[in-house]
Chains A and B, each alone.
Chain A
Amino acid sequence: MSNNILEVKNLKKHFDTPKGTLHAVDGVDFTIEAGKTLGVVGESGCGKSTLGRVILHLLDSTSGEIIYDGENITKVDKKQFIDLRKEMQIIFQDPFSSLDPRMTVSEIIKEPLVIHGVTKDKNELDKRVSELMSTVGLVDRLVNAYPHELDGGRRQRIGIARALALNPKFIVADEPVSALDVSIQAQVLNLMQDLQQEFGLTYMFITHDLSVVKHISDEILVMYLGKMVEKAPAKELFANPLHPYTKALLSAIPTPSLTKKRERILLKGEIVSPIEPKPGCRFAPRCPYAEELCRTTEPEIEEVSLGHEIVCHFVKEINKL
């Protein structure tokens, strides 16, 4: 019996646009073990946020399967959807636009409890709000404050408290620290780790920040234009990146150290349009190793070592495996 809380099979999300079909997520497979963190990295437009939203049913999937806790939740009716919301929650990227400016801190945190009818007793609601606030490190006196009175770090804590209100098991965190300064970012990351330990949460952590993802993840999925290009345990990925895109991505991170300089691989060009993508490997137009095969045939997932999966025709040749 596996201990996977979430299993995603060949998940696709396409959008119809005036210019054609936009392949935002185009066949992604992965599993997340309960209590672990899967980091999803990629650059703007690679489909990482869409992936998170499709899993939570904030967007409907085009095809594929989502299995949560042994149950197929790809298609759900309204009743199931509401039940699901108690299990799966999201922390949004921007703590400035994801909180209602006309609601107080206590109203924001209370809202999910009221909607799901957890309790009608006013005292009990207030008690729960106060508990949640102390869990995420917000002092009680802020209970009647409005979001605009608070700084980014505190706002993000409200977002986290709101996500935790219904005791979910699985949380999608979509760039939860990107809008924060480094010292505040570190405080929020520590908080998220503590909460994971305390409540046994499972995270899907979406970010473009590679040092953050390495710090918080057990496993990392690298995406490029709606496709997975590489997946590996966090340490393995950073020690031994195999896909040409992952290599370039890791080499591009500016490191705050003068002694450990990486050799930088500069990629040519930029991400091409995900609208009606050309056949073959999506990365081929920017790939330094691309050959004819890459432009015509899509590569398959290959497991090169335990848990290290990669999607590239020439992985063996490039890495001399």
Chain B
Amino acid sequence: MSNEFLSIEDLHIHYITQEGTVKAVNGIDLKLNKGETLGLVGETGAGKTTTALGILRLIPNPPGKIMDGKIILEGRNLLELSEEEMRKIRGKKVSMIFQDPMTSLNPVMTVGEQIAEVIEIHEDVNKEEAKEKAKEMLELVGISGGRAGDYPHQFSGGMKQRVVIAIALACSPELLIADEPTTALDVTIQAQVLDLMQGLKKEFNTAMILITHDLGVVAEACDKVAIIYAGEIVEYADIESLFASPKHPYTQGLFASIPSLDEDVERLNPIKGLMPEPTDLPSGCRFHPRCPYAEAKCSEMDPKSVEVGAEHRVKCLIYSGEVSGKGIENE
């Protein structure tokens, strides 16, 4: 028996709208062990948040629908559970930190009540005990317990995000899904929050899925990385091999787009073109219209995931030998 904690197999999520079917997630496979952090990296519309909401079965339906696949958490397929059972998992076993701390808190409840709420629902405690525990949680994320009676608007952005983290961690979840937890924050505050999350993760041995578009944050916080493009994982690797040698042309393009702090680059080398319309995805490899190495075959064949190293998989025809990939940097 491995210590595999979460396993997602061939997940498909579509949004069925009047303008057509938006294929947001197209056959994602992921594995996560206890205590590990997986970075889910991609641009707007790549399907990162949809994947996260899918795990919690929070996809708004309609228009969203999980079409196919399995989400197995400790041997149980979450997609087969009843809504009642699912509710017991949310906030307890699996909890989520949402992107925007400004809108994910209830403005008319004190922060103490909001933390206590989740504790009361999931744990066998009375109101007073839940309140006490809420204060402890606030202290844990570096806010004085005396502020439990304050409302969200009385806190700054960084502190609100800590409150959101406190809510997410209140019932010691085994899996934490953090959707762009630091994107809305300033860098010095981001550093504080990342540091806090790292510390808490170690303390509780929580597994974490960290959704971000920032490869810098990934380098700080993750063990494994999945690069997602148009609803597919195009590259998956442990962090060392991904940063040492990114293989997929899209991953390489992402790295080339970021202005470097250590080297002086006169001009950036961005990926040409735009993300494809999710209602009208290109045939074959989804990335081929933007790929500098694309050949005719790329628009015809669906690339399969190929192993290019220990736990390093790439979905690109260059690595399955179908396409020459002339000029690609690949040592």
Q: Which A residues lie at the B interface, using CB under 8 A? A: 43-44, 151-153, 181-187, 189-190, 193, 208, 210-212, 214-216, 235, 238, 248-258, 260, 264, 266-267, 270-271
Please determine whether A254 and B220 come into contact, CB atoms closer than 8 angstroms. Answer: yes
Q: What is the CB-to-nearest-CB distance from A210 to chain B, in angstroms, rounded to a whole number?
A: 7
Which one, B44, B191, B261, contacts A214 given CB within 8 A? B261
Please determine whether B259 and A189 come into contact, CB atoms closer than 8 angstroms. Answer: yes
B68 interfacial by beta-carbon distance below 8 Å: no
Q: What is the CB-to-nearest-CB distance from A63 to chain B, in angstroms, rounded to a whole number?
A: 28
Please determine whether A255 and B268 come into contact, CB atoms closer than 8 angstroms. Answer: no
Please determine whether A255 and B270 come into contact, CB atoms closer than 8 angstroms. Answer: no
Residues of B within 8 Å of A182, CB to CB, are 43, 213, 254, 257-258
Residues of B within 8 Å of A190, CB to CB, are 267-268, 270
Residues of A within 8 Å of B239, CB to CB, are 258
Q: Which B residues lie at the A interface, using CB under 8 A? A: 43-44, 156-159, 186-192, 194-195, 213-220, 239-240, 243-244, 253-262, 264-265, 267-272, 274-275
Q: What is the CA–CA distance of A43 and B186 in the complex, to the nearest angstrom? A: 6
On whether A257 and B219 interact (CB within 8 A), knowing A182-B43, A187-B270, A249-B187, the answer reads: yes
Q: What is the CB-to-nearest-CB distance from A313 to chain B, in angstroms, rounded to a whole number?
A: 21
Q: What is the CA–CA distance of A182 and B270 in the complex, to the nearest angstrom? A: 8
Q: What is the CA–CA distance of A206 and B254 in the complex, to the nearest angstrom? A: 23
Residues of A within 8 Å of B256, CB to CB, are 186
Please determine whether A211 and B44 come into contact, CB atoms closer than 8 angstroms. Answer: no
Residues of B within 8 Å of A257, CB to CB, are 219, 243, 262
Please determine whether B262 and A43 come into contact, CB atoms closer than 8 angstroms. Answer: no
Please determine whether A181 and B213 come into contact, CB atoms closer than 8 angstroms. Answer: yes
Q: What is the CA–CA distance of A5 and B254 in the complex, to the nearest angstrom? A: 36
Q: What is the CB-to-nearest-CB distance from A56 to chain B, in angstroms, rounded to a whole number?
A: 24
Q: What is the CA–CA distance of A43 and B215 in the complex, to the nearest angstrom? A: 20
Please determine whether A254 and B194 come into contact, CB atoms closer than 8 angstroms. Answer: yes
Please determine whether B188 and A254 come into contact, CB atoms closer than 8 angstroms. Answer: no
On whether A186 and B270 interact (CB within 8 A), knowing A254-B214, A256-B215, the answer reads: yes
Q: What is the CB-to-nearest-CB distance from B290 to chain A, in angstroms, rounded to a whole number?
A: 8
Please determine whether A183 and B43 come into contact, CB atoms closer than 8 angstroms. Answer: yes
On whether A264 and B191 interact (CB within 8 A), knowing A182-B257, A257-B262, the answer reads: yes
CB nearest to B274 among chain A residues: A151
Residues of A within 8 Å of B262, CB to CB, are 255, 257, 260
Subset of 30 A-B contacts with CB under 8 Å: A43-B188, A43-B189, A151-B275, A181-B44, A182-B43, A183-B43, A183-B253, A183-B254, A184-B43, A184-B274, A186-B256, A186-B257, A187-B272, A193-B267, A208-B186, A210-B261, A212-B259, A215-B259, A235-B264, A238-B261, A248-B188, A252-B187, A252-B191, A254-B190, A254-B191, A254-B216, A255-B219, A260-B262, A264-B191, A267-B192
Please determine whether B274 and A252 come into contact, CB atoms closer than 8 angstroms. Answer: no
Interface contacts beyond A181-B275, A254-B214, A266-B195: sample of 10 additional A-B pairs, CB < 8 Å, sorted by A:
A153-B274, A182-B254, A183-B271, A185-B257, A185-B270, A189-B268, A190-B267, A253-B187, A253-B261, A254-B217
Please determine whether A186 and B269 come into contact, CB atoms closer than 8 angstroms. Answer: yes
Please determine whether A249 and B188 come into contact, CB atoms closer than 8 angstroms. Answer: yes
On whether A186 and B268 interact (CB within 8 A), knowing A44-B157, A210-B187, the answer reads: yes
Please determine whether B258 and A256 come into contact, CB atoms closer than 8 angstroms. Answer: yes
Q: What is the CB-to-nearest-CB distance from A234 to chain B, in angstroms, rounded to a whole number?
A: 9
Q: What is the CB-to-nearest-CB distance from B221 to chain A, in angstroms, rounded to a whole number?
A: 8
Residues of A within 8 Å of B274, CB to CB, are 151, 153, 184
CB nearest to B271 among chain A residues: A183
Q: What is the CA–CA distance of A152 and B239 in the complex, to the nearest angstrom? A: 30
Residues of A within 8 Å of B253, CB to CB, are 183
Residues of B within 8 Å of A250, CB to CB, are 261
Q: What is the CA–CA distance of A152 and B194 in the complex, to the nearest angstrom? A: 28
Closest 3 CB pairs of A and B: A254-B216, A186-B270, A215-B259
Q: What is the CB-to-nearest-CB distance from B152 to chain A, in angstroms, rounded to a whole number?
A: 15
Residues of B within 8 Å of A189, CB to CB, are 259, 268
Q: What is the CA–CA distance of A235 and B263 in the complex, to the nearest angstrom? A: 10
Q: What is the CB-to-nearest-CB distance from B291 to chain A, in angstroms, rounded to a whole number?
A: 12
